[in-house]
Amino acid sequence: MDLEYLKKTALFKNMTDTEIRSALKALQADEKSYARNETILHAGSRTDRMGLVLSGNVRIESTDIWGNRTLLNKTGPGHYFAESYALLPEEPMLVDAVADEDCRILFLKVDTLGSADEPVETWKAKAAANLLGISVRKNLSLSGRSFHTSPKTIRGRVMAYLNSVSLKARSNEFDIPFDRQQLADYLNLERSALSKELGKMRRDKILSFRKNHFILHKTQ
């Protein structure tokens, strides 16, 4: 396992090599590979493990019984998913985690982080604090999606989303993690309507784009 890579991820932040090795053993670290579009975790199932994306990308999506799909998030290398379900293993999952491309996932059994062992090992105290940070950031991300999909117009949704990405990037030029279909799913829009509106916004000189690269133009 690449300890230098793990140090750069949120759960292992500020840990020494020795602490990371102890954590990997205690959390029963298990690496698995998945092919593109293979389901990693199924809605309705239960899990006691969270996933760390080592390579590739993972889609977090919800599909209702009529086949309507909603893309909730996309998780790339160095980021985690299913942490809330792993902490509450009795709760059935309401979403699917799907490989957006061939990927490698490191699974970690984190429910033991809440146990009150005495004395608490240093890695465990750090991991528990780091996991809280992961959960808070994920909640912010999900509340952000509600903000992006609340406008009634297509243009309003697109602008709300692109503005938030611009703020995070601290630049009016940036890449988004979605292709057109995924962006439409994320914003609860039809792909054709989204593409048409993007074309209008480009003609109105609000933005320019090429594939998933966008530039926002400030109006005078």
* pLDDT band per the 50, 70, 90 thresholds, residue 117: low
- CATH for 152-216, among 1.10.10.10, 3.40.50.2000, 1.10.3720.10, 2.30.38.10? 1.10.10.10
* pLDDT band per the 50, 70, 90 thresholds, residue 120: confident
- Rounded CA-CA distance 6/100 in Å is 22
**Tokens at residue 137, please?**
């950031």
Positive or negative, the Cα torsion across 16, 50, 167, 183? positive
Mean model confidence pLDDT for the chain: 91
In this predicted structure, the answer to whether residue 55 has a pLDDT above a threshold of 70 is yes
Contact in structure between 51 and 98 (CB atoms under 8 Å) = no
Contact in structure between 9 and 80 (CB atoms under 8 Å) = yes
* pLDDT band per the 50, 70, 90 thresholds, residue 113: confident
Let me know if 164 is exposed, middle or buried by CB neighbors in 10 A (0-12, 13-18, 19+).
Answer: middle
* pLDDT band per the 50, 70, 90 thresholds, residue 114: low
* pLDDT band per the 50, 70, 90 thresholds, residue 137: confident
pTM of model > 0.95: no
Contact in structure between 61 and 185 (CB atoms under 8 Å) = yes
Contact in structure between 79 and 130 (CB atoms under 8 Å) = no
CATH topology identical between 3-147 and 152-216:
no
Question: In this predicted structure, what is the pLDDT of residue 116?
Answer: 58
Asked which of 13-27, 44-58, 141-155, 183-197 is least confident by mean pLDDT, the reply is: 141-155
Contact in structure between 31 and 106 (CB atoms under 8 Å) = yes
Q: Where are the domains of the chain?
A: 3-147, 152-216
C-alpha angle 36-139-30 in degrees, rounded to nearest 5:
45
* pLDDT band per the 50, 70, 90 thresholds, residue 187: very high
Q: Which of 173, 183, 134 is nearest to 11 (CA)?
A: 134
Kindly indicate whether the domain formed by 3-147 is annotated with CATH number 2.60.120.10: yes
**Tokens at residue 208, please?**
């320019």
* pLDDT band per the 50, 70, 90 thresholds, residue 145: confident
Q: Which of 45, 57, 16, 23 is nearest to 128 (CA)?
A: 23
Contact in structure between 50 and 106 (CB atoms under 8 Å) = no
Q: Count CA within 13 A, CB hemisphere, residue 193.
A: 12
Q: Model confidence over 60-94: pLDDT tens digits?
A: 999 877 788 888 889 999 999 999 999 899 999 99
